[in-house]
Amino acid sequence: MKIEMTIKHFCKMTQSSIIIALLILSSFSTGFSQVIKDKGNDAELQKIDVEERLGDVIPLDLNFIDDKGQTVSLNSYFNRERPVVLVLGYYTCPMLCNLIMNGLSDVLREIPWRPGSEFQVVSVSIDPTETDLVASAKKKNYIESIGKPNIADGWAFLTGSADMSKKLADAVGFKYFYNEENDEYAHPAVLVILSPEGKISRYLYGIEYPERDFRLAITEASEGKVGSTIDKLILYCYHYDPALGSYVLFAENIMRLGGLVTVILLAILLFTLFLRERRKKLLGMAGTDNKAA
């Protein structure tokens, strides 16, 4: 009778704990990073877009110039067992690119991981007139602003020919155009998360990137090779919602996890009760033997 009452009490407690946990987890699902723009009928704005090509592998044989003036192959930043964050834009952009880079810098300061360790960041200019000197100055400013040691090699700032940057942009579905009247490039605001082999894993839109979304995207792109057990557990409970541009709770996996935890805890409880009952019987038998003696 005592065992039955204990099990009923345990089940009530477990059910309440799961509900509370779900409420807590749901509080982290707010905040959207996707920037939604009404293009209307403007023919020029129709040229700005992102055609997601998830699962495609980008061409890694493209050559660019790094911030030291050296010719480098895009392949040199891949196949290092860590994901790559690709940033397309240009360094002399008067506004949007700075907002994107500032948002990326903010999350790089917040996240406990370091560029060059758990992941690689690669910025590529879509403006063929920009030089390695411009890239070097831009890199210096952002590396200093992040303030983490030994991250210079973890964030590459590249320039190159229009042909190379266009091929890369086309591969990830990044649509942009040059506005001659304003002498500016019009382009979308997005980070492209790539696997260590160059496969497109995720797109993060906007100019602000929540740390949770950034960590989950990196963990997802690495196929679980990057991130702690907690990160992998959170990724199991969340999935990316393209409509919201963010990771949201996946109720089915939450319930599966809750059910598994309940079964494990119940098994532990029953085993503990079994050991207690067995101990009582052994003590009772020992007491009977002593009286008989």
Give just the sign of the alpha carbon dihedral 131, 133, 136, 141. Answer: negative
Angle at 208 between CA 216 and CA 214, to 5 degrees: 10
pLDDT at res. 223: 81
200 DSSP 8-state letter: E
Helices and strands, counts by H and E, the chain: 7, 13
Total length of the chain: 293
How high is the pLDDT of residue 258? 47
- Which residues make Cβ contacts (< 8 Å) with residue 268, sequence separation at least 6? none
Q: What is the pLDDT of residue 72?
A: 98
Task: Fill in the amino acid letter for 61.
Answer: D
Report residue 190 CA to chain centroid gap.
13
* Contacts (Cβ under 8 Å, ≥6 apart) of 208: 33, 103, 106
> pTM of the prediction?
0.69
- Helix axes of 211-221 and 229-237: crossing angle, nearest 10 degrees: 100
pLDDT tens per residue across all 293 residues of the chain = 444 444 344 344 444 443 334 333 333 333 333 333 344 445 566 678 999 999 999 999 999 999 999 999 999 999 888 999 999 999 999 989 999 999 999 999 999 999 999 999 999 999 999 999 999 999 999 999 999 999 999 999 999 999 999 999 999 999 999 999 889 999 999 999 999 999 999 999 999 999 989 999 999 898 855 545 554 444 445 555 666 666 565 444 444 444 544 545 555 655 566 567 667 666 665 555 555 55
Interval 168-196: pLDDT, tens: 999 999 999 999 988 999 999 999 999 99
Angstrom distance (rounded) from CA 168 to CA 40: 28
Cα gap 248→269, rounded to integer Å: 33
How far, in Å, are 13, 77, 273 from residue 3 at the CA level? 15, 60, 7
- How buried is 200 (Cβ within 10 angstroms: 0-12 exposed, 13-18 middle, 19+ buried)? buried
Predicted pLDDT of residue 285 = 59
